Amino acid sequence: MTRPRISARISAISESATLAVDARAKAMKAAGRPVIGFGAGEPDFPTPDYIVEAAVEASRNPRFHKYTPAGGLPELKQAIADKTLRDSGFQVDASQVLVTNGGKQAVYEAFATLLDPGDEVIVIAPYWTTYPEAIRLAGGVQVDVVTDETTGYLATVEQLEEKLTDRTKVLLFVSPSNPTGAVYTPAQVEEIGRWALDKGLWVVTDEIYEHLVYGDAVFSSIATAVPELRERVVVLNGVAKTYAMTGWRVGWLIGPSDVVKAATNLQSHATSNVANVSQAAALAAVTGDLSAVAQMREAFDRRRQTIVRMLNEIPGVLCPEPLGAFYAYPSVKALLGKELRGRRPQTSAELAELILEEAEVALVPGEAFGTPGYFRLSYALGDDDLAEGVSRVAKLLGEAR
Contact positions vs ligand PMP (CB under 6 A): 41, 102-104, 128, 174, 178, 206, 208, 238, 240, 246, 251
Shortest Å, Cβ 128 to ligand PMP? 5
Contact between 202 and 169 under an 8 Å Cβ cutoff? The reply is yes
**CA-based Rg of the chain, rounded to a whole angstrom?**
21
Length of the chain: 401
Torsion angle, CA of 269/275/276/280, rounded to 10 degrees?
-130
* Amino acid at the residue 216: D
Question: Which of 134/354 has CB closer to ligand PMP?
Answer: 134
Closest by CA position to 287, among listed 23, 54, 34: 54
Pick the closer one to ligand PMP by CB: 168 or 246: 246
Q: How far is the CB of 396 from ligand PMP (least distance, A)?
A: 27
Q: How far is the CB of 282 from ligand PMP (least distance, A)?
A: 11
Q: Which is nearer to ligand PMP, 201 or 282 (CB)?
A: 282
Phi-psi region of 89 (alpha: psi -120 to 50; beta: other; left: phi over 0): left
Give me the least distance between CB of 250 and ligand PMP, in Å please.
7
Closest contact distance (angstroms) between CB of 41 and ligand PMP is 4
Nearer to ligand PMP, 205 or 331 (CB): 205
Q: How far is the CB of 273 from ligand PMP (least distance, A)?
A: 16
Judged by phi (left if over 0) then psi (alpha if -120 to 50, else beta), residue 72 lies in left
In the complex with ligand PMP, the residue whose CB is nearer, 92 or 208, is 208
Q: Given the complex with ligand PMP, which of 235 and 335 has the nearer CB atom?
A: 235
Q: What is the largest CA-CA distance in the chain?
A: 65
The string of DSSP letters for 333-353 reads GGGTT--BTTB---SHHHHHH
- In angstroms, give the least distance from the CB of 129 to ligand PMP: 9
Distance between CA atoms of residues 364 and 314, nearest Å: 18
In 3D space, the residue among 244, 284, 325 whose CA is nearest the CA of residue 59 turns out to be: 284
In the complex, least distance from residue 191 CB atom to ligand PMP, rounded to whole angstroms = 22
Cα 72 versus chain centre, distance: 22
Nearer to ligand PMP, 140 or 345 (CB): 140
The residue nearest ligand PMP at its CB is: 102
d(CA 313, CA 308): 9
The enclosing H or E element of 76 equals helix 74-88
The Cα 346–Cα 352 span in angstroms is 11
CB neighbours (10 Å) of residue 4?
7
Q: Are 354 and 16 in contact (CB under 8 A)?
A: no
What residues contact residue 266 under an 8 Å CB cut-off, 6+ apart? Answer: 109, 112, 113
* Residue among 282 and 396 whose Cβ is closer to ligand PMP: 282
In terms of CB distance, is 144 or 350 closer to ligand PMP? Answer: 144
Minimum distance from residue 229 beta carbon to ligand PMP (Å) = 20
Nearest approach in angstroms of CB 133 to ligand PMP is: 13
Helix axes 102-114, 130-137, angle to 10 degrees: 40
Query: Which is nearer to ligand PMP, 18 or 264 (by Cβ)?
Result: 18
